[in-house]
Amino acid sequence: MNENITYIGLLADAEIELDSAALALSGLDHEGVDLDPYLDLLRTISAAVDAERQDAGEATLDSGEAQGALLARVLGAQFDFAGDTATYDAPLNADMIRVLDRRRGLPVSLSILYVAAARRMGWTAHALNTPGHVLVSIGPEGREAVIDPFNRGALVHPEELSALPAQASDALPQTGHEHLEPMSNRMTLVRMLLNQSLRAEQAGDTWRACMLYERMTVIAPEHDAGWWALARLQLVHGKVEAARASLTAMLEINREPERRRYITQALDRLAGQS
């Protein structure tokens, strides 16, 4: 069924609509489910944000704090989207169909909804590479604000940002102040898939984790960490040829000498295996 998401990997990053792309990924786990009602809900959310914007007047929405507060009123209050604090680690919290059904989710899945809705208003918004708990930056340059979709779009104050932990288990690898950097659309989707794959592995379901990493390589073919994780799990399942193909794909996109040497050594170790 990966052909259903192949188009995402072919799009330029700026052309990816985060919420509809996340919905397409979710649809792979819900065979036979009609996605049209969910796309209608996304359009309804955007229409509600637009109506609130018109009521407020564009002149009053010239800062990230004002734009974020409007999103909080619509998504957090009107549509009741909030973080799932009761069953945080449940896989359904990173499954966009289930997030839309339940109005509950993980920080990354809820951030996708906020960012997509903001961009449809012509506003600047990005999911941030914050460790363990994705936040959203919104607003014009110089007047940005950071909001927390998990907490119904609440404003995040600077002192709270400075207190962020350096690393968390479900965060992407990072150093220094990278956690305050915007993620690309593709990497935001990768982070959502990473949440799912890590939870699948923790539950001992390596087959599902392998499938999720395969999806990662389809939508983000130049993200070499996805290929590496896929090859690792393919070897767990005894699929040596598939692992060799994944490592070869990784070698083709990587230009770092040390990384290429490491991949080549892994391929050499697989030589002669079947």
Q: Is residue 133 part of a domain?
A: yes
Q: Is residue 29 part of a domain?
A: yes
Range of the domain at 118: 2-184
> CA 179 to CA 181: how far, in whole Å?
6
Q: Is residue 107 part of a domain?
A: yes
Q: Is the CB of residue 5 less than 8 Å from the CB of residue 186?
A: no
Q: Is residue 16 part of a domain?
A: yes
Element of type H or E holding 68: helix 64-71
N-terminal to C-terminal alpha carbon distance within the chain: 27
Give the pLDDT confidence of 185-225 residue by residue, as tens digits.
Answer: 999 999 999 999 999 999 999 999 999 999 999 999 999 99
Give the pLDDT confidence of 63-114 residue by residue, as tens digits.
Answer: 999 999 999 999 999 999 999 999 999 999 999 999 999 999 999 999 999 9
Lowest mean pLDDT among 33-37, 47-51, 127-131, 168-172: 168-172
Q: Is residue 239 part of a domain?
A: no
Using DSSP, state whether 83 is helix, strand or coil: strand
Residue position matching structure tokens 């070869």: 248
Query: Bridge-partner residues for 146, per DSSP?
Result: 137, 156
List the one residue out of 154, 170, 155, 56 whose CA is nearest residue 106. 170
Q: Is residue 242 part of a domain?
A: no
Q: Quote the number of domains for the chain.
A: 1
Maximum CA pair distance of the chain? 68
Q: Is residue 155 part of a domain?
A: yes
Give the pTM: 0.91
Q: Is residue 209 part of a domain?
A: no
Angle at 176 between CA 175 and CA 181, to 5 degrees: 90
Read off the CATH number of the domain in which 56 is found. Answer: 3.10.620
Report pLDDT for 4.
86
Distance of CA 252 to the CA centre of its chain: 25
Q: Is the CB of residue 127 less than 8 Å from the CB of residue 109?
A: no
